[in-house]
Structure 1
């Protein structure tokens, strides 16, 4: 079995310069929890997830700085304050940069291995030019495997 047989072709990508607010809108409107980040030519440059966004917009707690025997204490930040300046940050600032990807013609076992080894939820599928052509996600992969198992079971019972 090949990656192309299981990948999602209708993939939602994020431009590396898109602000966090646009990424949030995409995630909510399309009901996704992560997306490949691409440059202006559609080439993969990273991945961004809902967890990356939550960690980034999380308001800062009170911080104590000790600089040459002077102590500075920052004030805790409110969520509204954090959102006011963090939602304009480009995706490239919060994305994961060292991203694993697979090619459509790779064996599915290789994709499974990467998903399991690195605990990824999604794995971008790219062509030879590094353009995103799909995505393979753990949930969709498990659903496909379960459907194939059901087919195999139905065939073995009926035969």
Structure 2
């Protein structure tokens, strides 16, 4: 089996200029956890996930004393303030650019499974030889396909 047999072809993407506010709306509206970030020609620039946003918004680590003093008073204010300041930032500021793994449509399906398992990724972009995103393969998609194609057939 090849990646093309399991990939989602109707890919939801964002541009690097997309704001975090717009990204969150896309993720919620489509009930997804992440998307590829592409340029105007559809070439992969990076990946952004709900986890990236959460890690970005997480308050800085504090000492035990600071934590005790500020948890009651300031933690909610710190989070709300950081959220308000961050919503209009472009996703380019927090997207993952390094260690991007991709597969091609004609790659062996087991190669995609191996990458997803080894790196604990939830989603993997599928690119053509020109580097354009032509699909995505996710753990959930794989489970649905395995159930549909292999177990129920």
Q: TM-score range by the shorter chain?
A: 0.7 to 0.9
Higher relative contact order, chain-length normalized (CA < 8 Å, sep 6+):
2
Cα distance change, pair 80–151 in 1 and its aligned pair in 2 (3 A) = closer
Q: Which runs of 5+ in 1 are unaligned?
A: 64-74, 153-159
Query: Which residue in 2 is equivalent to 1:107?
Result: 108
Residue 18 of structure 1 is matched in structure 2 by 18
Where in structure 1 do 4 or more consecutive aligned residues deviate above 6 Å? none
The CA deviation at 1:41 is 1.8
Q: TM-score, normalised by structure 2?
A: 0.85
Q: Which runs of 5+ in 2 are unaligned?
A: 64-73
TM-aligned CA deviation for residue 39 of structure 1: 1.6
Larger C-alpha radius of gyration, 1 or 2?
A: 1
More strand by share: 1
How many residue pairs align between the two structures? 141
TM-score (norm 1): 0.82
Report 1:1-159 matches (<5 A): 1-60=1-60, 77-98=77-98, 99-152=100-153
1:90-119, CA deviations, whole angstroms, 9 ceiling, x for partnerless residues?
A: 111111112100111111111111111111
CA RMSD between the two structures = 1.7
Offset of 1:80 from its aligned partner? 2.2
